Amino acid sequence: MPRPHDVVFPRRRERSEDRRKEGQHRKLLDEFFDHPALLAVSRLVNRGLFDSIDYPISTGKEGGVFRATAGAEFRAVKIYRIGNSVFRHLPPYALEALRRESSVKNFGGLIFAWTRREHTILGRLADAGVRAPHPYGHFRNVLVMEFIGSPEGMAAPRIVDIPIEDPAALYEDLVLQVGRMARDARLVHGDLSPYNVLLHDGRVVLIDVAQAVSADHPEARRLMERDIRNFSKFFGRLGFEVEPADFLEAVGGKTIGPPPAEA
């Protein structure tokens, strides 16, 4: 059985730029891979979900996503930080729902529940045919997902970070995926923006879905309208004008929100 440290940024045989890379790796080890996180990673390795963690794809205040090797393939490993920073900007309705779902009050337990929630939502999206990372498993604050990128291991970019050659095609694909999420998965993303949509092989992939709410939630319509307005502005900056009302109708806006009260 490998030691926990041996599966995180394994020591490379080639020595070029090793000092700089090892310094960066040490900083990330200190930030993300404390002893409990290393034990969680080791547990998932022992389950056969991946072999080793290679390097970070993205990091932020709430956590980080790392590329991992799994045999001849790659996986994405998301690690949430343990602490209240994850929930500092979480909307009250999402935190309330999480507390209700998990029946725990301490930050550690809530983060474990948040990780489990993202795994569950990704599974619902997969069942509905929504293009999002497939979930492979989770333990404590570590989530293992499908790696979205090239066979050579290059991660797919966010749409905000690249030139968009065909905004109309991007819009049509986004409408399809968001519509499936609302109609078939009965979920509203709740934080959809160009920062959490990837472009892979010319098609959009939705990510960062842990805060999604049921399409019947009292806040669902407001959240969807906010997401639509944000994306309409994004398309406008690309020179492709989209009316928010048309966008909302295209993704099934009439099906979003609590059912009308009976007379």
Indicate which residues carry an active-site annotation: 191, 208
The span from the CA of 218 to the CA of 228, in Å, is 17
The span from the CA of 14 to the CA of 162, in Å, is 32
- Where do the DSSP E strands lie in 60-202? 63-70, 73-80, 135-139, 142-146, 187-188, 197-200
Q: Phi then psi for 77, rounded to 5 degrees?
A: -115, 120
Residue among 93, 213, 219, 68 at smallest CA distance from 153: 68
Enter the DSSP assignment of 231. H
Residue among 258, 208, 204, 201 at smallest CA distance from 235: 204
Residues of 221-237 as b/e, b for ≥16 C-beta within 10 angstroms?
Answer: bebbbbbbeebbebbee
Residue among 32, 113, 46 at smallest CA distance from 78: 32
4 contacts 32 by C-beta, under 8 angstroms: no
